[in-house]
Amino acid sequence: MTSLLALVAFTSATQAEERPALPALKTEGPASVSGVSSGAYMAVQLWLAQSPRFEGGLATVAGGPYACAGSVFEALGPCLGRSPLNDVALLARAQAALASGALPAQPRGGRAYLFAGARDTIVAPSTTAALATQLQALRPELALQLETGVPATHGWVTRDQGSACDQMQPPFLLACGFDLASALLQHLHGPLQPRGEAAAGTLQAFDQRAFHAGADLADTGYVFIPQTCAAGGCHVHVALHGCRMNGAAIGEAFARHSGLNEWAASNRLVLLYPQTGAAATNACWDWWGYADAGFAGRQGAQQRAIVAMLERLAAAP
């Protein structure tokens, strides 16, 4: 029995060691970032705290203001729209982060696409409206688009993948007849080439352990690489899942069926899908400090892990 257990342990360890590394693809330029729910909050943190690295643009789905929550009580209360948000206080938090150096100096402009489902009962549309107010104050010349007209509940919206638009259930993909992937990428990157096929690229698992030692990130992340990007020269879009949407909860559903891959394949975009791990509360990204008191600043551990992934993608093969 002892020898059998040792063999199982050795086999498991060997399999873990054989997980492929994130490839070096000689990607270019600033990245863009999108996220849903907790991923939307993390996207805002990355866009502000890691500027100018993410000046390719910001897109949020069911998200709220930067530094909205400093505790789980704030996260589950006003930041979900269950009590009014104070726009003045939220702007003051961001300005304090700028003054302390937790955030770098911000450019005046940029591009942001904010989506709030009209039937979202988890993150109220008013929370996303507060984000719009905050970002517009921080960046007065921001090109911001706020979409609130789709009758979606809480989740990532697609043309035809997932459950009914008003049904919130795993894998939290909502078939609303609205091409969210196209809308956000076009706002961030300008006119797109026609939608391609996911088969024109490859979704690969990669080892995330090289970028972050904590169990709040999973061992495995995903990257979609269009065939045209194998030789380098492509930009990167980071797509962040929401709570209860990581690989352990829904497998590759978000990474395969978000609708982003098809547009990336025809528009020379590498898609990075980082994944939270077993120690991540409810599989959420850290947007209230469950893993790191400095979660919202430029030294936030999960942020630095994602930045390190971008640096790896930008390296020469």
pLDDT per residue as tens digits for the range 237-281? 999 999 999 999 999 999 999 999 999 999 999 999 999 999 999
pLDDT of residue 265: 97
Which one from 37, 38, 51, 258 is the annotated catalytic residue? Answer: 37
Do the domain assignments include residue 14?
Answer: no
How many domains does the chain divide into? Answer: 1
Do the domain assignments include residue 9?
Answer: no
Low-confidence ranges of the chain (pLDDT < 70): 1-17
**Beta strand pairing call for 220-226 and 201-207:** antiparallel
pLDDT of residue 14: 38
pLDDT of residue 3: 40
The string over 3-41, giving b where at least 16 C-beta atoms fall within 10 Å of a residue's C-beta and e elsewhere, is eeeeeeeeeeeeeeeeeeebbebbbeebbbbbbbbbbbb
pTM: 0.93
pLDDT of residue 178: 98
Per the annotation, the verdict on 207 as an active-site residue is no
Do the domain assignments include residue 7?
Answer: no
Do the domain assignments include residue 8?
Answer: no
Which one from 51, 120, 258, 286 is the annotated catalytic residue? Answer: 120
Which one from 154, 212, 235, 241 is the annotated catalytic residue? Answer: 154
pLDDT of residue 15: 42
Do the domain assignments include residue 196?
Answer: yes
Per the annotation, the verdict on 87 as an active-site residue is no
Asked whether 146 and 170 are in contact (CB, 8 A), the reply is no
Q: In angstroms, rounded to a whole number, what is the distance separating the alpha carbons of residues 143 and 159?
A: 25
pLDDT of residue 17: 53
Do the domain assignments include residue 75?
Answer: yes
pLDDT of residue 8: 34
pLDDT of residue 82: 78
Question: Which residues have C-beta within 8 Å of that of residue 258, sequence separation ≥ 6?
Answer: 156, 158, 161, 173, 181, 239
Do the domain assignments include residue 28?
Answer: yes
pLDDT of residue 19: 82
Per the annotation, the verdict on 37 as an active-site residue is yes
Nearest to 275 by CA among 29, 18, 35: 35
What residues pair up with 240 in beta bridges, in sequence order?
Answer: 35
Which structural domain, as residue segments, surrounds residue 136?
22-314
Do the domain assignments include residue 10?
Answer: no
Nearest to 277 by CA among 220, 203, 207: 220
pLDDT of residue 55: 97
